[in-house]
């Protein structure tokens, strides 16, 4: 019975120490944190550039190739004559 009483008393003392350590740690943490400054509001209305249609250009791999012309001005490679 005495052992239980001693253990209970030791546990209470340890709990008091742990609570004090926790309190000290929390105070140090709060003191170490810099004051948080509010960041300026971001306006997303102009976040994406929308150039006029005249300035918009598709990448080369998305554009259709321009037809090639022979010396007579005929398109080459468009139609294949399969009648032989």
Q: pLDDT tens digit string along 8-66?
A: 999 999 999 999 999 999 988 888 777 667 778 877 777 677 778 888 888 877 777 77
Cα angle at 53 between 51 and 59, to 5 degrees? 85
Look at residue 7 in the predicted model and tell me its pLDDT. 92
Classify the phi-psi angles of 79: left when phi > 0, otherwise alpha if psi is within -120 to 50, otherwise beta. beta
| Cut 0.85: pTM above it | no
Look at residue 56 in the predicted model and tell me its pLDDT. 81
């Amino acid at each position: 019975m005495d052992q239980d009483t001693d253990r209970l008393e030791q546990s209470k003392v340890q709990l008091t120490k742990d609570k004090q350590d926790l309190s000290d740690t929390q105070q140090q943490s709060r003191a170490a944190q810099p004051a948080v400054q509010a960041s300026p509001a971001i306006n997303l209305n102009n976040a994406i550039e929308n150039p006029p249609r005249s300035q918009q250009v598709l990448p080369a791999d998305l554009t259709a190739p321009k037809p090639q012309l022979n010396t007579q001005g005929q398109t080459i490679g468009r139609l294949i004559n399969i009648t032989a």
